[in-house]
C-alpha cells in the first residue's frame, strides 16, 4: 500500500475547498490510479469521497514517485463546479468506462441534431 504525503495545503474560501499538493512515493510499483489516490486523500482528510477530486497526477521522470493536486470541498454540494472530465477521471475503472461511453453517445446525438438541422 502506498501513502500520500502532503507537500502544501491551502484554503480557498471563495470556492469552499482545500487545495492540496501531494506526493505519492511508489518504489518498484506502478503509479497508483487517480481513484486509489482519491480514496487515500478522502481517508486522510476524513472527507466524503464525493467531495474529493484529484485534478492532476503525474509521474516524475527518474524518480519512483508521482505528484499531484487535489481539491477537497467543504461539502459534496460545492463540488459541482468541478469540470466533467475531472469527475470522470476520478471514477473507478468500471464506472469510468460507462461514463465515457455515455458522453460519447451524447456527443454523437448532438452532432446528428446539428447536421440534421442544416438543411
Is the confidence at residue 90, as pLDDT, over 80? yes
Q: Is the pTM of this model over 0.75?
A: yes
- In this prediction, residue 118 has a pLDDT band, given cuts at 50, 70 and 90, of low
Domain limits for position 48:
5-116
Total count of domains within the chain: 1
Q: What is the pLDDT of residue 42?
A: 95
- What CATH number corresponds to the domain at position 29? 3.30.70.330
Contacts for 106 with CB less than 8 Å, ≥ 6 apart: none
φ and ψ at 71, to 5 degrees?
Answer: -115, 125
- Report the range out of 27-31, 52-56, 102-106 with the highest average pLDDT: 52-56
Q: What is the pLDDT of residue 13?
A: 96
SS3 60: coil
Amino acid at each position: 500500500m502506498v501513502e500520500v504525503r502532503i507537500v502544501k495545503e491551502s484554503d480557498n474560501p471563495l470556492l469552499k475547498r482545500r487545495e492540496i499538493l501531494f506526493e505519492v512515493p511508489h518504489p518498484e510499483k506502478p503509479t497508483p490510479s487517480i481513484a486509489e489516490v482519491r480514496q487515500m486523500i478522502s481517508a486522510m482528510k476524513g472527507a466524503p469521497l464525493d467531495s474529493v477530486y484529484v485534478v492532476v497526477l503525474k509521474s516524475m521522470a527518474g524518480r519512483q514517485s508521482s505528484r499531484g493536486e487535489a481539491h477537497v470541498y467543504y461539502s459534496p454540494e460545492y463540488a459541482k463546479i468541478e469540470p466533467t472530465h475531472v469527475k470522470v477521471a476520478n471514477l473507478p475503472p468500471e464506472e469510468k468506462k460507462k461514463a465515457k461511453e455515455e458522453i460519447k453517445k451524447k456527443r454523437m446525438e448532438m452532432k446528428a441534431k446539428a447536421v440534421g438541422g442544416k438543411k
